[in-house]
Amino acid sequence: MSTREESARSPAQPFWLRGPFAPVTAEVTTHDLPVVGEVPRELSGTYLRNGPNPKDGPSGHWWFGDGMVHGVHLEGGKARWYRNRYVRSARFHGTDLTPKEGEDARVARARRLRGGGTSNTHVIEHAGRILSMVEAALPMQLDQELSTVGPFDFGGAVDTPMTAHPKRCPRTGELHFIGYQPMPPFLTYYIADAAGRVITKREIEVDGPSFMHDFAITEQYAVFFDSPLRMTRDWGDGMPFAWSDTHTARIGVVPRAGGAVRWFEFEPGYLSHTANAFERDGTIVLTGARSTRFEVPPFLYRWEIHLDSGRTREGAIDERVVDFPRIDDRRTGEPHRYTYVVEMRDFVGGVPTGTVLRRYDAATGGSVAQELGPRQVPGECVFAPRSGDPSEDAGFLLSIVYDGERDGSDLVVLDAKNFGAAPVARVRLPQRVPFGFHGSWVLL
């Protein structure tokens, strides 16, 4: 047994280094994967998912492992390949990024941003580029075989960290994103056009940085959540955040086209992840996973702002512990009906053994669970649209599911119109995929 395998089995290890969280060491490429059921022939693209996978074994927090991207390519009714690759950041290479004596602070800062941080949180495609992201640094560009190309700064236009949760506007094809950091400018709002050129860069005035892991767009506005969870120093060892009992939770709304930001106050808490936001009858409706304190389990919540009167409303949609909310991305910024989440329950040693996928229906107010069988633990699900049918939920949901029966992982394909029914396909992956964070369906 290797040292890594021993550590994966040791109960003395923190939860993120053992069991289904434990990192894998091999970078694997496997073609023509076995499938239970049938991969829909119309699914032609690649599912990508990022997550922490500490290269040297240990890491001080689940969030701090080196990024590893897993990809599964589906085409012609077959699972053509699986591959996984470390994101080769400066940190991966062990490059020392600390400022040199007498060095200009801006030069040192730029070098650190270009290092890519852990690059372990999300992976997207925009303007033909695959970008691996973490909110502490610039994205790292990957090629179609998931090899690292290098840092990507949008032709020099981005000189702050970049969120791992950018939003693509389905009407314009623009990529909207933010960068937050512990020195001025604390918050920057960017828009890149469909070709990947930054066309807007605006400082959003705040009185200091807060943990702003996610944000939202609507058809006309960008929406920022400024919370009591304050950023107290730069990223490094440990979490650079502290809860403030005096800082009010507030949501900022700024026209995408330009103009002043307006702030609206809400109950203490913070936005963990956005499901979506949209405008309806002059009201901005934001739905997302909300926590009341740092690292307290989140649940689904709705905030509303009537723009003319300034009246606000908020409340929990459900009491279940859920996170990783996703929608049919073609509805980003527009009214949506379905929100897909990971519901976490039955925690044993930090591992949510009874985890299921759940779909919330805004039209009925109800929800339905997707059971996948005993000892099956799904991660975030990603929507892959059925081409030619623009109706919401016309498509498939993709999720990597840990199979505790064989200590392995499958890519599970669900028909979104039959949520709750048996999967249409389970692609057997050649190795366990550690629990991770976010992913995308890309057409490359």
* Alpha helices, H only, 59-172: 90-93, 105-114
Name the nearest CA neighbour of 298 among 272, 333, 268, 260: 272
The answer to whether 73 is annotated as binding is: no
Q: Is 126 annotated to bind ligand?
A: no
How many other C-beta atoms are found inside a 10 Å radius of the C-beta of residue 352?
A: 18
- Asked if residue 247 belongs to a known ligand binding site, the reply is no
Does the annotation list 213 as a binding residue? yes
Place of tokens 């389905």: 170
Q: Residue 199 is encoded by which pair of tokens?
A: 């066309």
Instruction: Determine the residue type at 206.
Output: V
Return left, alpha or beta for 50; rule: phi > 0 is left, psi -120 to 50 is alpha, else beta.
beta
Report d(CA 275, CA 286) in Å as an integer.
Answer: 8
C-alpha count within 13 angstroms, C-beta hemisphere, residue 221: 23
Dihedral angle at the C-alpha atoms of 106, 110, 111, 112, nearest 10 degrees? Answer: 100
Those residues whose C-beta lies under 8 Å from the C-beta of residue 63, and which sit 6 or more positions away, are: 52, 118, 120
Q: Hey, what are 164's tokens?
A: 């791992």
DSSP-derived secondary structure for 16-75: GGSGGGS------EEES--EEE---TT--EEEEEEEE--TTS--SSGGGSPEEEEEEEEE
Residue 110: strand, helix, or coil: helix
Pairing relationship of beta strands 45-52 and 67-75 according to DSSP bridges:
antiparallel
Who contacts 20 (Cβ-Cβ below 8 Å, separation ≥6)? 351, 377, 402, 404, 407, 432, 434, 435
**Residue 220, φ and ψ in degrees, nearest 5:** -115, -10
Whether the bond into 34 is cis, omega within 30 of 0 = no
CB 444 within 8 A of CB 144: yes
| Binding positions for Fe cation | 165, 213, 273, 438
| Binding positions | 165, 213, 273, 438
